[in-house]
């Protein structure tokens, strides 16, 4: 008998036969889908809502809504659901806004250039400096 497809539910701890990728039993998965539908319906009715407004009005934790945004299950024209990890500015996808991404790329390029630049070494002979 193969027990590879059995798992413990991440939410309730019940053992269940794992079918999909989510670590949730069918009961908790159905409940999560109801929460998702509530958020989706709210966003349909109020498309320019912020993440905090959606969480407050639907009484669904911000962390759960962020998971759906990261999974790209929720899309939004105003891009106010997802925040840049560096500056907190609203973004539509990814983890960083364009400005922070450009700053990060620039710093990485500067670091790469500094590492690839040969170091100018000076030689010392018997206490005298030679260039």
For the chain, the domain total comes to 1
Specify if 102 maps to a domain.
no
Parent domain of 79: 6-83
Specify if 29 maps to a domain.
yes
Structure token pair of residue 22: 């989510």
Taking each helix axis from N to C terminus, what angle separates 51-58 and 62-70, rounded to the nearest 10 degrees? 120
Specify if 126 maps to a domain.
no
Three-class SS state of 130: strand
Specify if 108 maps to a domain.
no
Distance, in Å, from the CA atom of 34 to the CA atom of 31, rounded to the nearest integer, reads 5
Taking each helix axis from N to C terminus, what angle separates 26-45 and 51-58, rounded to the nearest 10 degrees? 120
Specify if 115 maps to a domain.
no
Higher-confidence residue of 2 and 87: namely 87
Mean of pLDDT values over 80-100: 77
pTM to 2 decimal places:
0.57
């Amino acid at each position: 008998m193969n027990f590879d497809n059995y798992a413990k539910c991440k939410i309730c701890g019940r053992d269940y036969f794992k079918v999909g990728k989510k670590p949730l039993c069918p009961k908790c998965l159905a409940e999560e889908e109801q929460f998702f539908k509530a958020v989706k319906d709210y966003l349909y009715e109020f498309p320019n809502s912020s993440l905090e407004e959606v969480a407050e009005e639907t009484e669904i934790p911000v962390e759960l809504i962020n998971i759906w945004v990261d999974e790209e299950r929720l899309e939004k024209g105003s891009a106010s659901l997802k925040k840049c990890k560096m500056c907190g500015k609203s973004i539509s996808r990814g983890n960083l806004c364009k400005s922070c991404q450009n700053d990060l790329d620039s710093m990485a390029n500067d670091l790469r250039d500094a590492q690839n630049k040969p170091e100018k070494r000076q030689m010392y002979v018997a206490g005298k400096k030679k260039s």
